[in-house]
Amino acid sequence: MIEKLRENFNKGVEKLKWFARLLDERLKVEMAFFKFASKAEKLRKEKDELARAVGEKVFEERQQLSLMARDEGLKGMLKEMELVNEELNALVEQTSKIGRE
């Protein structure tokens, strides 16, 4: 009877070890995925920031860039940016007036 208990106990321990290895492998995969997703998000934010900076620089230098004279689509986008910028400035001015009242 003790042999049967010992055998069942050893089988149970082996199943627990198997489950622990399976869980360990799964956790490693999950952690690697989250690290990858985190790094991808950081890179995406960095790319967006760089694109924004490039766009702002183009907008600031729009008078000097000869590219503007040739590209009608770019001219339209810059005109739209100017309108948005004017609206933004008006909103900022209105907001600052509200703060002073």
Residue-wise DSSP of 31-76: HHHHHHHHHHHHHHHHHHHHHHHHHHHHHHTTTT-THHHH-HHHHH
Give the whole-angstrom CA distance, residue 67 versus residue 73.
11
Segment 6-16, tens digit of pLDDT: 999 999 999 99
Looking at residue 1, the DSSP 8-state letter turns out to be -
Structural contact between residues 61 and 53, judged by C-beta atoms closer than 8 angstroms: no
- pLDDT digit string, tens, across residues 47-68: 888 878 878 877 777 777 665 5
